[in-house]
Every structure is written in C-alpha cells, then in structure tokens.
Amino acid sequence: MNEIQLQTFLTIVEHKSYSKAAEVLNVTQPTITSRIKALEDILQCELFKRVGHDIFLTKEGNMLIEYANKILIYIKHSKEIPNILKSPVIKVGFSPGYDYSFIIELLKTVKSIGGMDIKVTEGHDSVSLNENILSGEMDIVFTREVLADSREVVSEYLFDNNLILVLPADHHLCSKQSLSIEDLNNETIISFRRNSVLWQLIDKELIGANNLTRIDVENNEMLLKAVANDLGIGIIPELGIDKRHEPGIEVREISNLYNLQNSVYVQYRKNIQMENIAKKIIYSIIQHKYSVSHAE
C-alpha cells in the first residue's frame, strides 16, 4: 500500500468514476484500474462494485475512506520533518518589566542567525521561568534568580539591573540630581507587580518615606505611560526603560534603591545548538545594555 494508491482510491470515491479519476490524475484508465487492483490484493477485499456503468463502494471500501485520509495526513506531516529540523523553535523567556527595545534586540539577533523560529514569553516571575527551563518548556531564560547547579542547564551572570526612579519631565524632583528616600514624602508611587519578591525589598526601603499613595499597574509599559501623564513616580529596573526613546520622562537615582541587588542571569539548555545560539543572543543583549548606558 502506498500514497499513490490511496490518492487514486480517494479520487475515484470523489468523482465516482475510473475514467474521471484518470483524467484528474493525468494517467490512463488502465493505470487507475491497476492501482486499485494492487490495493485490493493488499487488503484482500473488493473496494468497488460495478452496476451497469456506475460504480459503488463496498462496505470495505466505505470503511477505507477514513483510514486513507488519515494515512495521507500522516504522510504529509512526516514530509515536514526535514523542515522542522531545519527551523527549530527557540523558546525564550524574560522576567517581567523589560523595555521593548531589549526584546527587539533579541529578535534582531535571532533573525540574523536565521534558520529558526522563536517564541518570546514574558514569565510571571523569575522562579516560574527557572522552573520552566528545568522542565524543558523553555530553551533560554533571563531572570533575576540564579539556578542551582544542573546537568541540563547552564547559568551565567550577565550584569546588574539597578533600580531607578522615573519621573514626569516637569516634576519638581527633576531639579535635583541626588535624591533620598525622604524626598518621596507625599508622592504617588507607581509599581508593576508589587507582590513580587523584588518589590518586597523596595517596600522595606520605602518605609522611610511618609504619606505615600500607591498605584499598581498591570505591566511596565502602562507604568511608563502613567508616569509620562503625571500620575505619579515609577520605580523600575534600568532595563525597564530605553531612556533614548521614552518621551516625557526623566530618570533619577536614590542610592538606597539603586544599590538593591537586582542582577540579570541567563540560563539555557545544555546542547551544542542551544549553546551557540545562546552565546550570540547574550552578546547582543550585553551590547544593547551598554550602548544604552553610554548614550545617557
């Protein structure tokens, strides 16, 4: 039994004619007859019966329709295997809060490598992303939590992602270059995912500020828009904003917050293909990080 025989069988079923099937498949009618006879010999049953000039499916022929369709689908899918192997899907995960320019840099790098598809996901937090790479659901993740030694995953420190204050461009605190926690008295603080481990550390430092109003938003981009519209002050990691392209926002540092530990680690699967891709992605992201720093 082969693909041609099954295609011939289904073409006859569709057109209810050997001669029409021969025309559609661009072969002679004896060829059609020979293919069906060979298929019937393999299955040891008749597939069609003739009544005058008409042909009808036997019970066995009627049952074969479903199987033939499924077999041809499987054959089609199996032919895609070389393409799947040529274009692997690389699954990349980021901790929440990275600026879009950071993600774009990664996409540019993958595009330049070529020969692969990529799926980029913003994870709920670093812990869940590290769990995903350990379970094999991710190929490479960028998180603030280093993984313990693993035989399947490589973990590398990249750089610190210090916390900064983002202010509306006309905010009165923009007149100061050096700020303290006390400068935040009576301010509205905008956060993104305040229930995270990082924000627990931030809140401990903010105890020194009085009469704070809080706004927690759904994502980093919403936080930046809220700040630009003078709704309050945001606290985010440096890689949460590309200061070259964000209008209406000024950036300042508060030493208590800036010095809170918030590092970026990369973890990736241990295999030759992934290691080569990871090295190129890591290099492009480091270049992006420091090009932004030098542009300030």
Q: Choose which CATH entry (3.40.50.300, 3.40.190.10, 3.10.310.70, 2.40.37.10) describes domain 86-160+262-295.
A: 3.40.190.10
Give the mean pLDDT of 33-50: 90
Region 3-79: CATH code: 1.10.10.10
Residue 82 CB-density burial (10 A; 0-12 exposed, 13-18 middle, 19+ buried): exposed
Q: 97 vs 23, 154, 239, CA distance in Å?
A: 61, 23, 8
Find where tokens 């003739």 sit.
50
Q: What tens digit of pLDDT does each residue of 195-254 get?
A: 888 889 999 999 999 999 999 998 888 999 999 999 999 999 988 887 666 778 999 999
pLDDT tens for 88-141 read 678 888 887 777 777 777 777 777 776 677 788 888 788 888 888 888 888 888
Boundaries of every domain in the chain: 3-79, 86-160+262-295, 163-258
> Is the pLDDT confidence value at 86 over 60?
no
pLDDT for residue 119: 83
- Render 259-289 in DSSP notation, one character per residue: TS--EEEEEEESSHHHHHHHHHHHHHHHHHH
The rounded percent of the chain whose pLDDT value lies above 70 is 91
**What backbone phi and psi angles, to 5 degrees, belong to 115?**
70, 20
In this chain, the answer to whether the domains covering 3-79 and 163-258 adopt an identical fold is: no
Q: Which residue type, as a one-letter code, is found at position 288?
A: H
Domain 163-258 listed as CATH 3.30.1490.20: no
**At residue 21, what are phi and psi to the nearest 5 degrees?**
-65, -40
Please compute the mean of the pLDDT values over residues 143-172 and round it to a whole number. 87
Percent of the chain exceeding pLDDT 90 equals: 33
pLDDT at 170: 93
